[in-house]
Each structure stands twice: as structure tokens, then as C-alpha cells.
Amino acid sequence: MPLLTRIALDVLKPHIPNALEFANAISENSPGCKITVTVIEVDEKTETTMVTIEGDNIDYDKIVNSVTTLGGSIHSIDEVTVSNFIQEAE
């Protein structure tokens, strides 16, 4: 079964919550994942950010839900890594 192990999202979000709170809030809903939020551009009321999530099996729907709850808007999926290793029978 293919497992989502890394995804990078282009997210437009309000200034508050800031990048740290934003990353923490996403992390709380996605245990076991590493979250990186990079602020790309700052406008009057919004920030364009690159949110990168890495983990063994990322639940994309949970990520979308967290981002939406925090007032963010996913503009695009910029990078995806999916793993589908075949387990060898012993």
C-alpha cells in the first residue's frame, strides 16, 4: 500500500497564528510527523508559507483539516513523496 511520507504545501494563512503556533497546531493533529513552516512572503494581512510534513504515514485529510481550522488556505501541493516498499516474505 502506498504511504505518503513527505508533502510540501503552498499555504496562504493569516499572520496569527504565527509560523510556530501554526506548526505546533498541525503537529498536535499529526503525531509522529515532522513539520516545517517556511514563510515565503508577508503581505498586509496574510503570509504565504511553505508547509512541509514528513512522516512514516501522513494522513493528508488531517493536515487539510488542521490548516483549514487555523484559517489557512492550501493553494497547491508542491512536492510529494510516496513510498510503497514490498515486504519480503521471510
Partner 1 sequence: MLNYIRFLIRITHAHRIFRRYFVVNGFDGALTTLGLIVGFYSAENVAVSVMISACMGAAIALAVSGFSSAYVSEAAEREKELKDLEQSLIKNLDDSAHATAARLVPILVAVVNGMAPLSMSLIIISPLFLVQAGVELPYRPLECATALAFLTLFLLGAFLGKISGRFWLWSSLRTLAIALITAVIILSLEY
Q: Binding of partner 1 at residue 46 (CB under 8 A)?
A: yes
Strand 73-83 with 34-42, pairing: unpaired
List the one residue from 69, 77, 79, 80 that touches partner 1 (CB under 8 A).
69
Residue pair 58/9 in contact by the 8 Å Cβ criterion? no
Shortest Å, Cβ 80 to partner 1: 23
Q: Binding of partner 1 at residue 71 (CB under 8 A)?
A: yes
Q: Dihedrals φ, ψ of 32, to 5°?
A: 85, 0
Q: Binding of partner 1 at residue 21 (CB under 8 A)?
A: yes
Shortest Å, Cβ 33 to partner 1: 20
Q: Binding of partner 1 at residue 45 (CB under 8 A)?
A: yes
Residue matched to cell numbers 502506498? 2
According to DSSP, residue 11 is labeled E
| Orientation of helix 60-69 relative to helix 19-29, angle to 10° | 140
Q: Binding of partner 1 at residue 40 (CB under 8 A)?
A: no
Binding residues vs partner 1 (CB under 8 A): 12-14, 16-17, 21, 43-46, 68-71, 73
